[in-house]
């Protein structure tokens, strides 16, 4: 029995030794794990610090670039605003001037008929003829013949027309009408006045309705701008005044349309500047995301250290 007890004590001592060795092994393993964890934590800290440093460098670089871009954008915006404002004011002034001029011309066309200044070269004073007096000193037959000649108005008119008239130039004026073309810089009003003058010289003996129709036709043929000529011809104007009024309105409408296109081009430039502003806002959003990720990295590092 004593022998059994001794064996039991030996077994217990061996068990205690085994437990002691197990505790030592666990402590060594714990130390190894703790050392490994500390090494890994150090590596993570170094990696996080390196990442944060890179983020800070990127943020600083982005700040510099944003500052440069912002300054350039603000300068461009100021230049474009000044340019657009100047163009708008210039267009407004031109439109107001054109509208005022057109209203004045329309008022003149509606309120007064065509009138042309008298040409001193075509104005003649009416000659006076001293009446003959029979004194009985000459033959009655001779006196009567002279008296009949002076009192025959048809004979006098024919003689004056042959000497002073320009009926022999009618064909010349008609040819000039057929070949008449609007000169560069010549207004439609001046062209109409010239056509009216040539009509008076070339078709003086024609009825008034025929003269009106021919004058409108020659005026349309003489218009220089093809679009204005085509549009006026489609109206089938019966007289010169109607053809002139429509052609002037058509040119005014074309002028206003060109002005509107200029204004639209300015609005397109303005929309381009708005797109630049949107891109700038997008860049600021990207910077904000980077800053947020930087703050998150800082918080993670603080949590690891604690």
Return the domain boundaries, the chain. Answer: 166-261
Q: Does domain 166-261 have CATH number 3.40.50.740?
A: no
Q: Which residues of 43-62 are buried (b: 16+ CB within 10 A; e: fewer)?
A: eeeeebeeebeebeeeeeeb
Residues 6 or more apart whose Cβ sits within 8 Å of residue 246: 231, 232, 235, 237
Buried/exposed code over 252-272 (b: 16+ C-beta within 10 A; e: otherwise): beebeeebeeeeeebeeeeee
What pLDDT is recorded for position 115? 45
Residue-level pLDDT at 117: 44
Count, residues in the chain: 306
Long-range contacts of residues 103-112, Cβ cutoff 8 Å, at least 24 apart: 105/189, 105/248, 106/245, 106/248, 106/249, 109/241, 109/244, 109/245, 109/248, 110/245
pLDDT at 229: 93
pLDDT digits (tens, 9 = 90+) for 78-113: 887 787 777 777 877 877 777 777 667 666 665 554
Residue 152: the pLDDT is 57
Predicted pLDDT of residue 119: 46
Tokens of residue 166, six digits: 């320009």
CA dihedral in degrees (256, 260, 265, 270; nearest 10)?
140
Closest CA to 188 of 262, 238, 241, 264: 241
Alpha-carbon distance of 138 to 148, in angstroms, equals: 16
Tokens coding 247: 């052609």
Residue located via tokens 């085509």: 230
Full pLDDT tens readout for the chain, 306 residues:
677 778 788 878 888 888 888 888 888 888 888 888 888 888 888 888 887 888 888 888 878 888 888 788 788 788 877 877 777 778 778 777 777 776 676 666 655 544 444 444 444 444 555 555 656 666 666 666 666 666 555 565 665 555 545 556 788 889 999 999 999 999 999 999 999 999 988 898 889 999 999 999 999 999 999 999 999 999 999 999 999 999 999 999 888 877 666 656 655 666 666 676 677 677 777 777 777 776 676 676 666 666
d(CA 151, CA 139): 18
Radius of gyration of the chain (CA): 54
């Amino acid at each position: 029995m004593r022998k059994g007890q001794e064996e039991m004590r030996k077994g217990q001592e061996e068990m205690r030794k085994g437990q002691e060795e197990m505790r030592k092994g666990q402590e060594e393993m714990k130390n190894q794990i703790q050392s490994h964890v500390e090494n890994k934590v150090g590596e993570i800290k170094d990696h996080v610090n390196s990442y944060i440093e890179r983020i800070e460098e990127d943020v600083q670089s982005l700040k510099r670039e944003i500052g440069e871009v912002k300054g350039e954008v603000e300068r461009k915006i100021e230049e474009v605003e000044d340019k657009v404002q100047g163009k708008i004011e210039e267009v407004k002034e031109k439109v107001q001037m054109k509208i005022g001029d057109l209203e004045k011309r329309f008022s003149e066309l509606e309120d007064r008929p065509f009138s042309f200044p008298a040409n001193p070269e075509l104005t003649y004073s009416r000659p006076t003829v001293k009446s003959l007096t029979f004194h009985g000193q000459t033959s009655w037959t001779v006196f009567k013949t002279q008296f009949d000649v002076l009192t025959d108005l048809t004979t006098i008119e024919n003689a004056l027309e042959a000497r002073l008239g320009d009926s022999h130039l009618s064909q010349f004026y008609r040819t000039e009408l057929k070949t008449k073309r609007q000169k560069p810089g010549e207004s439609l009003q001046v062209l109409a006045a010239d056509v009216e003058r040539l009509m008076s010289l070339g078709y003086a003996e024609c009825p008034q309705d025929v003269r009106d129709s021919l004058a409108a036709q020659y005026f349309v043929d003489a218009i220089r701008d093809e679009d204005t000529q085509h549009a006026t011809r489609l109206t089938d104007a019966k007289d010169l005044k109607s053809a002139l009024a429509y052609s002037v309105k058509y040119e005014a409408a074309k002028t206003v349309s060109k002005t509107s296109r200029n204004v639209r081009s300015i609005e397109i430039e303005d929309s381009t500047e708005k797109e630049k502003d949107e891109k700038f806002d997008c860049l600021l959003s990207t910077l904000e995301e980077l800053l947020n990720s930087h703050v998150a990295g800082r918080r993670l590092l603080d949590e690891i250290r604690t």
